[in-house]
Amino acid sequence: MLRILTLLCFLWVSSASAQTLLVLGDSLSAGYQMAAEQAWPAKLPRALNDHDVEVEVINASISGDTTANGLQRLPQLLERHQPEWVLIELGGNDGLRGWPFNRIRDNLEQLITQTRAADATPLLVQIQIPPNYGQRYAQGFADIYPTLAEQTQTPLLPFFMETVIQKPEWMRDDGIHPMPEAQPWIADFMAEKLAPYLSDAPQS
């Protein structure tokens, strides 16, 4: 009986001290038109295990979300989950709406600030959009991310869709959203890019 109680206490302490990554994204991370367990964030913990990183992943992504939606939701998510890291994958829907650059940038900066205020580490995903509004807007939009990452000293992860979109069999007919078949590759790609940052923290 004592041995069983000791084991239960060990498991409880390990669970309580587990590191947590919160994914705050849009349809690219929510798993558009697929089951939640098919989306790449659900596959990320196993992919990170291949890099000797053990992390609990909370996928708080919602299809259609903008940076403004993220700002509304983040405080409650931070309070509820108390993550060590927040992966910010937002802005695509802002760009597709043609929002002004300063509005997008300010919202992303506030997301970074809110994350740090909660003693969590922000990680920013580079986002790009199709040139629907012309090359000038698309390039200006893309430039928001490296500029903001440098100014705020926030790690910038590459846009995983750059590779996915080159494989038609991985893409839906809308030319924007990845299929379930692409999700394992995205999880492996993100694990490789995230591992150096997540492994800096002590693992339980």
Per-residue pLDDT reduced to its tens digit, 140-171: 999 999 999 999 999 999 999 999 999 999 99
The Cα 64–Cα 62 span in angstroms is: 6
**Into how many domains does the chain fold?**
1
Evaluate whether residue 75 is within a structural domain: yes
Residue 2, pLDDT above cutoff 50? no
Per-residue pLDDT reduced to its tens digit, 19-35: 999 999 999 999 999 99
Evaluate whether residue 90 is within a structural domain: yes
Asked if 15 is an active-site residue, the reply is no
Asked if 174 is an active-site residue, the reply is yes
Domain harbouring 162, CATH code: 3.40.50.1110
Evaluate whether residue 28 is within a structural domain: yes
Evaluate whether residue 11 is within a structural domain: no
The Cα 114–Cα 189 span in angstroms is: 27
Residue 3, pLDDT above cutoff 90? no
% the chain with pLDDT above 90: 85
Among 26, 61, 177, 188, the one annotated catalytic: 177
Three-state DSSP string of 185-203: HHHHHHHHHHHHHHCCCCC
What per-residue confidence (pLDDT) applies to 202? 44
- What is the domain range of residue 179? 19-198
Evaluate whether residue 190 is within a structural domain: yes
Q: Which pairing describes strands 56-59 and 85-89: parallel, antiparallel, or unpaired?
A: unpaired
Evaluate whether residue 3 is within a structural domain: no
Per-residue pLDDT reduced to its tens digit, 64-114: 999 999 999 999 999 999 999 999 999 999 999 999 999 999 999 999 999
Q: Are 67 and 111 in contact (CB under 8 A)?
A: yes
DSSP 57-100: EEE---TT--HHHHHHHHHHHHHHH--SEEEEE--HHHHHTT--
Evaluate whether residue 2 is within a structural domain: no
Evaluate whether residue 179 is within a structural domain: yes
Mean pLDDT of the chain: 90
Q: Which pairing describes strands 156-157 and 85-89: parallel, antiparallel, or unpaired?
A: unpaired
Asked if 27 is an active-site residue, the reply is yes
Residue 6, pLDDT above cutoff 70? no
Among 27, 65, 94, 188, the one annotated catalytic: 27
What per-residue confidence (pLDDT) applies to 9? 41
